[in-house]
Amino acid sequence: MIACAISCATRGLAGVPVTVEADIANGLPGFAIVGLTDRAIQEARERVKPAIRNAGYKFPQRRVTVNLAPAELPKEGTGFDLGIAIAILRAEDSSLRLDGLAFLGELALDASLRPVTGVLPMARCLAASGVRRLIVPVENAPEAALAEGLQVLGAASLQACVEYLRGEGTLVPGVRDASLPSSEPEPDLAAVRGQAQAKRALEIAAAGGHNLLMTGAPGAGKTMLARAFPSLLPDLPSDAALEVAAIYSLRGTLRERPPTTSRPPFRAPHHSISRAGLVGGGTGLAQPGEISLAHRGVLFLDELCEFSRQHLEALRQPLEERTVTVARARAAVTYPADFMLIGASNPCPCGHLGEAQGCTCEPRQLSAYNNKISGPIKDRIDLVVSVPRQEYRDIFEGADEEPSAVVRDRVEAARNRRGEVAGHGNAALTGREILAAARATTPARRLLALSGERLHLSARGFFRVLRVARTISDLAGEDRVGEEALAEALHYRIEMAG
């Protein structure tokens, strides 16, 4: 007797429908699972068998073979447990109705269902492949319900699922946003006193999608500024928000981020993070890393110089391609990684370079420090701004600071000015595109030529300055890049050695 149940695997952010075939044949009792499976799936035998028994059903005392098709697709994880159990039970019990249904979930020995990762991308894939109803563990139901075009049902146990399939019981319909945390409020820029120049740079970065580096003495407010940065960004369009939710679903971290939020993500990994944690990978499941969790949002690297050279090198390709490919034992997986990079760093190891009290670093220390950033990611940073220590009167006596909402309005207006460039902003314009988009005035061109000579700007340097100038002009509502915008852009150019 053969029976089939539909389940799903993931490959990167895409789902792949999987047919679970169960064959029950005469012969010595045995239980095999085939179809390019990993260890977790092999161990499914040790979960599914007791779960079926503890749910009060009979596990066939014959030769049971389960095949996961397509056989050539590498499969991993525990999410096939429910589909395997249902296919086995269906082979001996034709009263189970499986038409149009799919199954995801891990079984505990007592037959209760445990949540699994990646349910949202898998639900989207199953809906597209014609599945009408999806049964998932109760905890996964809200995220699965984000997928359009199929009915989601949450089951607490194998029994609940079987009774439903016999038409004898009901399951909990999945509802978007049920009992999920709401977004925490983003820190507001108004809490940062003074620092007008840094705030201006943040506004430009937000408007153009530029990567930004802040350098300054300890306690000047760099971390505070960076944490307020997301509040300047517009909401994500709904397709982007869903894509981000799918990445969090793969990591099983939807609890960290409400799946229905349309705010851009903000990730601030500590410099002690592993390479796999930062860019993705790891043993077992190839998980997306912090750079993918920051997709369509912000990756904040505080104390940039404390990150290892290898970590910073690993960012080079994603910054260039906006995706990351994680090499695996069996197949490479690609995840989206289209993030804005905000870095913060002290100007030197002692932290006081350029300050009145003076720097106590050795020249050798200084150049090693500079090289660390400048090597791998200098090419990708459009804006550098110094964040000086504020005077007493800047902090305690100034007027009220502008709230983030006001800045965000300007950012949105600037982004919409020239019909936003494919969602990435001016930072993503190629050399040719920026030359056309800038429409620099004659005085602006003259200034660019002059400063290019004086500052030894490379071709890349020219384009970088023009991109930033384009964004500054967008913020000012100007069609052409003028001298003033260009002068300001020159001011933020990278000054690191190397």
Ligand X SMILES: Nc1ncnc2c1ncn2[C@@H]1O[C@H](COP(=O)(O)OP(=O)(O)OP(=O)(O)O)[C@@H](O)[C@H]1O
Does 395 interact with ligand X (rule: CB under 6 A)? yes
Does 223 interact with ligand X (rule: CB under 6 A)? yes
Report the partner that residue 467 touches, choosing among ligand X, Zn ion, Mg ion, none (CB closer than 5 to 8 A by kind).
none
Report the partner that residue 395 touches, choosing among Zn ion, ligand X, Mg ion, none (CB closer than 5 to 8 A by kind).
ligand X
Does 200 interact with ligand X (rule: CB under 6 A)? no
Q: Which residues of 450-474 are buried (b: 16+ CB within 10 A; e: fewer)?
A: ebbeeeebeeebbbbbbbbbbbbbb
Neighbour count for residue 497 (Cβ, 10 Å): 11
Residue that the structure tokens 């420090």 belong to:
369
What track of x and - describes contact with Zn ion for positions 332 through 361 (by CB under 5 A)? ----------------x-x--x-----x-x
- d(CA 185, CA 298) in angstroms, rounded, equals 16
Of 279, 375, 285, the C-alpha closest to 318 is 279
| Shortest distance (Å) from residue 161 CB to Mg ion | 50
Of 34, 36, 224, 428, the one binding ligand X (CB under 6 A) is: 224
Give the 3-state DSSP-derived string for the chain, with helices as H, strands as E and coil as C: CEEEEEEEEEECCEEEEEEEEEEEECCCCEEEEECCECHHHHCHHHHHHHHHHHCCCCCCCCEEEEEEECCCCCECCCCCHHHHHHHHHHHHCCCCCCCCEEECCEECCCCEEECCCCHHHHHHHHHHCCCCEEEEEHHHHHHHCCCCCCEEEEECEHHHHHHHHCCCCCCEECCCCCCCCCCCCCCCHHHCCCCHHHHHHHHHHHHHCCCEEEECCCCCCHHHHHHHHHHHCCCCCHHHHHHHHHHHHHHCCCCCCCCCCCCCCEECCCCCCCHHHHHEECCCCCEECHHHHCCCCEEEECCHHHCCHHHHHHCHHHHHHCEEEECCCCCCEEEECCCEEEEEECCCCCCCCCCCCCCCCCHHHHHHHHHHHHHHHHHHCCEEEECCCCCHHHHHCCCCCCCHHHHHHHHHHHHHHCCCCCCCCHHHCCHHHHHHHHCCCHHHHHHHHHHHHHHCCCHHHHHHHHHHHHHHHHHHCCCCCCHHHHHHHHHCCCCCCC
| Shortest distance (Å) from residue 386 CB to Zn ion | 14
Part in contact with ligand X (CB under 6 A); list of ranges 204-212, 222-230, 257-265, 432-440: 222-230
Nearer to ligand X, 195 or 471 (CB): 195
Of 223, 325, 367, 390, the one binding Mg ion (CB under 5 A) is: 223
Residues 165-204, interacting with Zn ion (CB under 5 A): none
Of 52, 126, 147, 192, the one binding ligand X (CB under 6 A) is: 192
| Shortest distance (Å) from residue 369 CB to Zn ion | 8
Nearer to ligand X, 58 or 393 (CB): 393
Does 67 interact with ligand X (rule: CB under 6 A)? no
| Shortest distance (Å) from residue 304 CB to ligand X | 11
Nearer to ligand X, 262 or 390 (CB): 390
Report the partner that residue 347 touches, choosing among ligand X, Zn ion, Mg ion, none (CB closer than 5 to 8 A by kind).
none
Report the partner that residue 390 touches, choosing among Zn ion, Mg ion, ligand X, none (CB closer than 5 to 8 A by kind).
ligand X
| Shortest distance (Å) from residue 317 CB to Zn ion | 32
- d(CA 60, CA 63) in angstroms, rounded, equals 8
Report the partner that residue 361 touches, choosing among Mg ion, ligand X, Zn ion, none (CB closer than 5 to 8 A by kind).
Zn ion
CA dihedral 117, 41, 71, 157 (to 10 degrees): -60
Using the Cα atoms of residue 160, residue 161, residue 164 and residue 165 in order, give the sign of their dihedral. Answer: negative
Nearer to Zn ion, 111 or 353 (CB): 353
| Shortest distance (Å) from residue 378 CB to ligand X | 20
Closest residue to ligand X, judged by C-beta, is 221
Does 157 interact with ligand X (rule: CB under 6 A)? no
Part in contact with Mg ion (CB under 5 A); list of ranges 217-225, 278-286, 386-394, 440-448: 217-225
Does 220 interact with ligand X (rule: CB under 6 A)? yes
Part in contact with ligand X (CB under 6 A); list of ranges 120-128, 147-155, 212-220, 281-289: 212-220
Of 328, 390, 462, 496, the one binding ligand X (CB under 6 A) is: 390
Of 30, 100, 218, 431, the one binding ligand X (CB under 6 A) is: 218
Report the partner that residue 353 touches, choosing among ligand X, Zn ion, Mg ion, none (CB closer than 5 to 8 A by kind).
Zn ion
Part in contact with Mg ion (CB under 5 A); list of ranges 47-55, 223-231, 414-422, 449-457: 223-231
Nearer to Zn ion, 199 or 352 (CB): 352
Does 346 interact with ligand X (rule: CB under 6 A)? yes
Residue numbers at the binding site for ligand X (CB under 6 A): 192-195, 216, 218-224, 346, 390, 395
Residue numbers at the binding site for Mg ion (CB under 5 A): 223
Residue numbers at the binding site for Zn ion (CB under 5 A): 348, 350, 353, 359, 361
